[in-house]
Amino acid sequence: MCGVVGVGSKTLAAQNDVLMHMCDTMSHRGPDDAGLWVSKDGCVALAHRRLAIIDLSPGGHQPMTDEKGDLCIVFNGEIYNYREVRGALEEAGFRFKTASDTEVILTAYRAWGVDCLAKLNGMFAFGLYDRVRQRMFLARDRAGEKPLFFAHLPGRFMFASELKALMADPTFPRELDLTSLQYFLAYGYVPGEMCILKGVHKLGQGQALLYDLTADSIQRWHYWDLPLPGPQTAISLADLESELESLLLDSVRLRMIADVPVGVLLSGGIDSSLITAMAARVSATPVKTFTISFPGHGAYDEGPYAKMVAEHFGTEHMELVAEPASVKLLPDLARQYDEPMADSSMVPTYLVSRLVRQHATVALGGDGGDELFGG
């Protein structure tokens, strides 16, 4: 993941040192590189913290501008079909200077404007400044995997990957949104596009936004919605199984495209075992799998099941021992999540991620399987 932040104003954007401080609050999201870009008139500023996944060279540095200097982008995520989109753009006469998916988004916007979103398959959140049209263009992926907070204040627009980045601006208002607080007390989290701070919103999944600097106005819309069920047709169980297998295989194949080590979080359960099976089929080398063991916790130790799956698929398996958790973790987690969160799974997730990061930069998992397949 990466961290993005941006400010746009009719007069002057944030001071450079303030913007970099905002960006550096998200250094955990991007330890590999950092960058700052300010428009010539000083009205727009973009900053970025980079975790390099595709094109590890300096060519992938952000913020990234086009060759004319009319466009500038900060991008968090990965475009899985960037090679196909790049090929279509090259056929249309566009040329590229880097091998990054970031430049593909930038060029796709030059070619198709805001309609470029229909061409992108991935997990992403980005902010793009269009100097000619005097507007900022924000978008978030269809499933809402990558976060994006924004606030529209009088004469000023701000966005960031995390709430703490916005709060690093000393002039940013800090007032609790009482309705969001009520939702948190009811559900244990702040849902949808709401935010615990008044005046701040999350860009929704499958949403895009335009901020017009001249008019100081925003336009927000859904560029994608979950499709409605089609007409009922007679399809055999075998055909449905074949289609599901094809979709899973393609999904895992796309997510394994990276210029850094990729692994699979393998618990031995149905979902992560399916991911491992698909990864083993599309990978030319043994897949790296990781299991976290909890010694002394018998029924909660998934190590033996994961080992069986790893042996079956011939993976390069590693069993990592989870360190004991203590309440000392909670302040760090509270600072990380920004908004209040009552899901206790954040503790083992944090411990797992910290262990696996020592061996792989990208890790696939089976999260979401229960939601997609009805538990």
Catalytic residues: 2
Taking a C-beta distance cutoff of 8 angstroms, is the pair 21, 158 a contact? no
CA 132 from chain centre, in angstroms, equals 28
Determine contact, residues 362/263, Cβ cutoff 8 Å: yes
- What strands lie across the sheet with 33-38, from one edge to the other? 33-38, 44-50, 3-9, 156-160, 149-153, 200-202
Specify which residues 35 forms β-bridges with.
48
Backbone angles phi, psi at 215, to 5 degrees: -90, -10
- State which amino acid sits at residue 132: V
Tokens of 243: 């289609």
Cβ-Cβ contacts under 8 Å for 350 (sequence gap 6 or more): 329, 332, 333, 336
DSSP letter string over 318-362?
EEEEPPPP-TTHHHHHHHHH-S----TTHHHHHHHHHHHTTT-SE
C-alpha distance across the termini of the chain, in Å? 28
The SS3 of residue 27 is coil
**Of residues 217, 208, 42, the one with CA closest to residue 127:** 208
Sequence-separated (6 or more) residues with CB below 8 Å from residue 228: none
* CA 138 vs CA 5, 167, 208, 218, 265: distances in Å: 11, 20, 6, 11, 31
